[in-house]
Amino acid sequence: MQSRRAGNALAAFSFVLWGFLPLYYQFLPQADTNELLAFRILFSVPFMLIVMRVLRRSLPSLAILLSDKRSLIMSGVAGLVSCISWYAFTWALTHGQVLAASLGFFINPLFAITLGVLFLGERLSKAQQIAVILAIVGIAYQVWHYGELPWLALIMGSFFALYGLCKKFIRYDALTSVTLEAAILAPFAFGYLLWQSIHTNSVALSSDTQTLLLYIGSAPVTLGPLIFFALAINRTSLTMVGLMQYIEPSMHFFLAVFLFGEVFDQVKAISFSFIWFGLLLCTLEALPNILGRKSRDAQQSSI
């Protein structure tokens, strides 16, 4: 019981940290997203190694890693997929599109549900079917009025769901997997930054110390919540985690509208409402299972 409470607290804390990320990126308006991505990848490796040392964990030997080639390859694929989602997310936060980031993570669970059906043989419940249809209607409403797809939100939501799907095929523990994802891509990130510094004017390296530190800091501020999430995942239910993940886009939404002054017009209000209603149906459907599980845990702990 105590372990489950700790897991719930860790999961909630991780999503709150992710929710505050737009505040960090307000210090990097119009950032060079390519360079920011490269810094994030490169400095993720030493950061993760420090974290593993603090938690008294160590990377498996090279022989053990190579013995599971599928997990090694999928770690590289997961890293690439994550970069695409993170690239769109970072561009949104540094170019006044926090509402797009919010929409992306609101629709992410619906993409995850769809991928589960297509690749994992899962079945949609009635509420999930309705939620997917409502999300399609909500996005179609935006397309009808604006004449274009909400590309940023769709890229973020779909590729983060693909990242979750890739993780299903990785047998390494969570911290090892995250470290490998960065380590596999680190040589490419270093090569890009080297080429950038030689052939063009590097934004981070030619700026003041504060800007350089903000570029480097993009690694710990994005990986920190991921570590808390990894620690939580084995201590609480996936259903509870699924419900808590709406903390992040909700915080993004309120920051975008009430702090950053982004336009939330009638079209977006109607579009978001379709998606929110679908998510509410999924939440109401899941609550009896969560409450029933809590009741069983309480009964077992009292015996």
Domain boundaries, the chain: 2-302
Q: What is the arithmetic mean of pLDDT over 57-85?
A: 91
What is the Cα–Cα distance from 71 to 87, expressed in whole angstroms?
24
Q: What is the pLDDT of residues 242-267, one digit of tens each?
A: 667 788 999 999 999 999 999 999 99
What is the pTM (predicted TM-score) of this model?
Answer: 0.86
Which carries the bigger pLDDT value, residue 282 or residue 96? Answer: 96
Is the per-residue pLDDT at 49 higher than 60?
A: yes
**Percentage of the chain exceeding pLDDT 90:** 47
pLDDT of residue 159: 92
